[in-house]
Amino acid sequence: KRHGHIDALVNNDAYPALRAPLGEARVEDYRDALEVMAVAPFRLTQLVAPSMRKRKSGRIVFVSSAAPLRGIANYAPYVSARAAANGLVSSLAKELGRDGITVNAVGSNYVENPDYFPPALLANSEAMAKMTAQIPLGRIGAPEDVAEAVSFLASPRASYITGQVLRVNGGLLIG
């Protein structure tokens, strides 16, 4: 109310990708992952959508992951929650599109982030070489790579793009 209206919502949550084989995974961790990565962004979207609908304009961008597109063994809670967010993108794009609101996600993988790439891992040249060997661009991404994609999807330049999960992953093959 104090600043006018909201032009864009960027749902950029953070939650650790906990490694837990199915037999060791805790249901509480699964629920927590869903709450942080799917329920909270859903609620934020519910809060901003009415004013965007009224103005017939808006951008909603989820910072998510491309992990659900290929799955990752032993990370079911994280991957499932990101899949839920990606599913929201598809459904909300169809629901809100007629009101001039675009809904997209940036699905990143292998982007430098202290939660996923602690300094010790970044300093381990053997581990990094093994990891980057599977990425066609031969490197992990920089935070700026994701920021540029989010900025684009939140801008007027992306006015005819909706319901997409834009992979920002250096060309990592999915499947």
Catalytic residues: 78
Which of the 8 DSSP states describes residue 169? S
d(CA 113, CA 160): 30
Is the CB of residue 132 less than 8 Å from the CB of residue 140?
yes
Planar angle of CA 14, 18, 23, nearest 5 degrees? 145
Tokens representing residue 85 in the block: 């967010």
Is the CB of residue 162 less than 8 Å from the CB of residue 97?
yes
Is the CB of residue 45 less than 8 Å from the CB of residue 39?
no
What are the E-state strand segments in 40-173? 58-65, 101-108, 165-168
